[in-house]
Amino acid sequence: MKKSFKKYVSLTTLAMTFASTLVGPTTQLVSAQEEGEDGVLEFDTLVQNEGEPIEGGTLNYALVSDSTFSGVLNNLLYTGRPDGEIINFFNPGLYGYDENFTIDNSGFADIEMDPENSQVTITIPEGHTWHDGEEITIDDVIFPYYVIGNPDYTGIRYGSDFQNVAGMEEYHNGDADEISGLERVDDYTLTVTYNTFNNSMLQAGGGVSNYIEPEHLLGEVPVAELEDSEYVRKNPVGFGPFKVESITPGEAVTLTAFDEYYDGRPNIDEMVIEVVNPSTIVSELKAGNYDIASLPADQYETYADATNFTPVGFLENAITYIGFKQGTWDEENGEVVPEPERVTSNKALRQAMAYAIDNNAIATQFYYGLRQNANSHITPNFTEYHNAEQEGYTFDPERSQQLLADAGFVDNDGDGFVEDPNGEPFTLGFASMSGGETAEPIAQYYIQSWQQVGINVELVDGQLMEFNSFYERIEADDPAIDVFQAAFGVGGDPNQSGLYGRSAPFNYTRWATEENDELLAAIESEESFDEEFRQQAFYDWQEYMIEEVPTIPTLFRYTLTAVNNRVSQWDTQIGSDLKWSDIYLLSEEPTAE
């Protein structure tokens, strides 16, 4: 359950007192739920259960989804998260990483960075095999580059990270037979040369490929046909802690422990993964049908007092935010064009709108305390770069009104809404997405909160938008949209140039300043390879973003996982060092209520 495993199983602690009279193992209070500020819950990542381990056993794992999994069981080709969750049990990536998603040498391969020469050297250990007994060599690390770079490749991973490999574009375009930036040093060593090398390369998902695939099998299949091949759909082969024994398409996968796993054979003999609908997962868990399952936040009240399993969790690397449209996108030149004359380009207005909303109230009233007010644009899971001491925006309507008044936003005509500093009335169009029972009341809450401090805001078209329509209109800079609520996942790299950079298409606010350019450049600079400089660069950027507030970071969110009492221990911490060889089952069947 090391690094790469945690990326999916957490991918993102309940104070429970278990009576000593419970049947089965008792729970040691390592995982505890505490009520923090304003009723927001705080969770630990680890649960440890006491009891006598059994030998082997079968772990029942619920893949919680309202649809079947696609069955594209290959890291180079899958797109759906359920497929990725399954893959990581039998074919985890090359390298490990710590709690900040910084690549380290805790995984299968050792990674040596050489920023001066824009190179990374990857070394894999000798004497290890794939599940079918074939030896793993560096050719299995090189092979994914040639699949992804092949013009017949059907997946989605040929992007800037792979294009940054020297010679990749020439190979992709048919101008070269080989990728010049790949130097095969020996059977176990590869040196990769890149066109550019910034400190995002240090991050998992930040530019260094984490892929390793069995070339002796996949290399026999034309790249265009890989996605539908038997080694992807029916008989995938990996090198991870478990190997695939059987697949019921879209519904279930049975895996068994791999005796030769490089990090120690799992003590659990078998794992059965089954798709379970979110609407029934809590009842299934209480009935003792599953050991491990993700938990839906909107059902928290139904499992908060569960006695046969413990929810553990972590704040995932995702953030909900409110954005302000402040310009447009110049497709020809590939950069944002700020429009300072827009009312939303007024910093005081944005700050006032941030102080007008109570995000802790939303966290407790709509999400049972499983969300918390966000104080930064960097998520807390990046422990070295998130400034936990930074003061974010908290509910302060008086301060909101004072900011408006000081900036010249005054209600001149007595209608209850302020005019802009030029004395002109204005109404802001607010866009938010449909989905779930809470979407509409949350959107209305924001609108009412802004109206109460004198800012006239209305829902665009008078209704919530469907997901695809929402993003089409946001990306097209629809003039009807002034303010919008959205969310994004950060991935393994805290550098947010791709979200807030001047040349980033995902900079949906179309906001840019020279100071922001400089702060982002500092994060990406050579000096930022120094850890102290890098941390300060992130701190400086966070402080500036809270001051300028092109977007209001509203909520950080917990991902919760249920762990049955018979599982000896489970850790959802990003970068956890817990090994599969340290996890036992404490009874033959999962504990039921």
Instruction: Name the burial class of residue 334, with classes exposed (0-12), middle (13-18) and buried (19+) by CB atoms within 10 angstroms of its CB.
Output: exposed
pLDDT tens digits, residue range 498-557? 899 998 888 999 999 999 999 999 998 889 999 999 999 999 999 999 999 999 999 998
Among candidate residues 337, 316, 317, 318, the one with its CA nearest the CA of residue 507 = 337
**Could you give the number of structural domains in the chain?**
3
Which pLDDT value is given to residue 252? 98
- Asked whether the predicted pLDDT for residue 15 surpasses 80, the reply is no
Token pair belonging to 319: 């953030």
- Asked whether the predicted pLDDT for residue 379 surpasses 80, the reply is yes
Q: Which of 179, 205, 228 is the last residue of a domain?
A: 228
- Asked whether the predicted pLDDT for residue 13 surpasses 60, the reply is no
d(CA 45, CA 12): 10
- Which amino acid would we find at residue 72? V
Displacement of CA 39 from its chain's centroid (Å): 25
User: Which H or E run includes 226?
Assistant: none
Judgement on whether residues 159 and 131 belong to the same structural domain of the protein? yes
Which pLDDT value is given to residue 502? 94
Which pLDDT value is given to residue 34? 59
Least confident of 216-230, 459-473, 535-549: 459-473
Judgement on whether residues 8 and 57 belong to the same structural domain of the protein? yes
CATH number at residue 341: 3.10.105.10
Residue 208 pLDDT grade (very low, low, confident, very high; cuts 50, 70, 90)? very high
Judgement on whether residues 220 and 265 belong to the same structural domain of the protein? no
Which pLDDT value is given to residue 33? 52
CA distances (Å), origin 408, targets 336, 343, 412: 28, 12, 11
User: Which H or E run includes 6?
Assistant: helix 3-9
- Asked whether the predicted pLDDT for residue 18 surpasses 50, the reply is no
Judgement on whether residues 531 and 573 belong to the same structural domain of the protein? no
Instruction: Name the burial class of residue 454, with classes exposed (0-12), middle (13-18) and buried (19+) by CB atoms within 10 angstroms of its CB.
Output: buried
- Which amino acid would we find at residue 518? E
Mean pLDDT over the full length of the chain: 91
User: Which parts of 97-167 fold into alpha helices (H)?
Assistant: 139-148, 160-163
Residue whose structure tokens are 């399952």: 293
CATH number at residue 270: 3.40.190.10
Which distant-in-sequence residues (6+ apart) come within 8 Å of 287 by Cβ?
592, 593
Displacement of CA 178 from its chain's centroid (Å): 34
CATH number at residue 119: 3.90.76.10
Judgement on whether residues 452 and 570 belong to the same structural domain of the protein? no
Judgement on whether residues 256 and 335 belong to the same structural domain of the protein? no
Which pLDDT value is given to residue 125? 98
Instruction: Name the burial class of residue 85, with classes exposed (0-12), middle (13-18) and buried (19+) by CB atoms within 10 angstroms of its CB.
Output: buried
Cα 62-65-68 angle, rounded to 5 deg: 100
- Asked whether the predicted pLDDT for residue 366 surpasses 90, the reply is no
Q: Is residue 255 part of a domain?
A: yes
Q: Is residue 387 part of a domain?
A: yes
d(CA 394, CA 374): 9
Judgement on whether residues 326 and 184 belong to the same structural domain of the protein? no
d(CA 42, CA 248): 38
Region 138-150 average pLDDT: 98
Residue whose structure tokens are 């500036």: 544
Displacement of CA 65 from its chain's centroid (Å): 17
Which pLDDT value is given to residue 30? 35
Residue 299 pLDDT grade (very low, low, confident, very high; cuts 50, 70, 90)? confident
Region 251-263 average pLDDT: 98
d(CA 93, CA 3): 9
Judgement on whether residues 293 and 435 belong to the same structural domain of the protein? no
Judgement on whether residues 137 and 13 belong to the same structural domain of the protein? no
Cα 13-266-317 angle, rounded to 5 deg: 35
Q: Is residue 86 part of a domain?
A: no
Which pLDDT value is given to residue 43? 81
Rg of the chain over CA atoms, in angstroms?
25
Among candidate residues 149, 145, 150, 153, the one with its CA nearest the CA of residue 120 = 145
Least confident of 17-26, 44-53, 386-395: 17-26
CA distances (Å), origin 235, targets 19, 225, 232, 484, 521: 45, 15, 7, 45, 46
- Asked whether the predicted pLDDT for residue 17 surpasses 80, the reply is no
Among candidate residues 192, 225, 223, the one with its CA nearest the CA of residue 209 = 192
The b/e string for 353-382 (b: 16+ C-beta within 10 A; e otherwise) is bbbbbbbbebbbebbbbbbbbbbbbbbbbb
Judgement on whether residues 99 and 34 belong to the same structural domain of the protein? no
- Asked whether the predicted pLDDT for residue 20 surpasses 60, the reply is no
Judgement on whether residues 152 and 199 belong to the same structural domain of the protein? yes
Token pair belonging to 330: 């110049």
Q: Which of 176, 196, 228 is the last residue of a domain?
A: 228
Residue whose structure tokens are 């710590």: 98
CA distances (Å), origin 480, targets 443, 465, 474, 483, 549: 17, 13, 10, 9, 21
DSSP secondary structure string for all residues of 336-397: EEE-TTSGGG-HHHHHHHHHT--HHHHHHHTTTT-EEE---SS-TTSTTTS-TT-------H
Residue 364 pLDDT grade (very low, low, confident, very high; cuts 50, 70, 90)? confident
Least confident of 12-26, 41-55, 74-88, 133-147: 12-26
Q: Is residue 14 part of a domain?
A: yes
User: Which H or E run includes 1?
Assistant: none
Among candidate residues 302, 363, 292, 387, the one with its CA nearest the CA of residue 557 = 363
Among candidate residues 350, 319, 343, 237, the one with its CA nearest the CA of residue 491 = 319
Token pair belonging to 388: 């936990």
Which pLDDT value is given to residue 7? 31
pLDDT tens digits, residue range 28-45? 323 335 555 556 677 889
Region 559-572 average pLDDT: 96
Residue 14 pLDDT grade (very low, low, confident, very high; cuts 50, 70, 90)? very low
- Asked whether the predicted pLDDT for residue 190 surpasses 80, the reply is yes
Which pLDDT value is given to residue 492? 86
Half-sphere exposure of 266 (CA within 13 A, CB side): 26
Share of the chain above pLDDT 70, in %: 93
Q: Which of 228, 253, 285 is the last residue of a domain?
A: 228
Q: Is residue 83 part of a domain?
A: no
Token pair belonging to 131: 């599940």
Judgement on whether residues 206 and 273 belong to the same structural domain of the protein? no
Q: Is residue 88 part of a domain?
A: no
Residue 142's domain comprises 93-228
